[in-house]
Chains A and B, each alone.
Chain A
Amino acid sequence: RIVTDPSTVITVDTRNSTWHDFTRFLDAGMGSQVRGMSELKQYFQRFGYLPIPETNFTDTFDDQLESAVTMYQTKLGLPVTGKLDSDTISTIMSPRCGVSDTNHTLKTTKH
């Protein structure tokens, strides 16, 4: 039996402070309203799935969000359901690269 070395006690919380509570949107569908869904919309905006100019996102699962979810699933090789299923939520919550998936915002020219 392997005895755990006390110096290896795990102390770091693996949840990201921004995305860890996105599980609450699991199975949310068109028309549903979940408090904080605007943060999910900000996530999709951040990675290129919602247009940049929008700033006042609502907490409603609307057409625009459904379109973003579908596009995200397509881009990330997930089953395309247009819904916030467990595969999709789990992928959204995974740590990732900060480069946008669609707009490729980090593309400045050399100074």
Chain B
Amino acid sequence: PSVGDNKDEL
């Protein structure tokens, strides 16, 4: 998915 830097956490 187009996660970008927004989903770098758990």
- To the question of whether A and B form a pair in one complex, the answer is no
Write the residues of chain A forming the contact surface with B, with a CB cutoff of 8 angstroms.
none
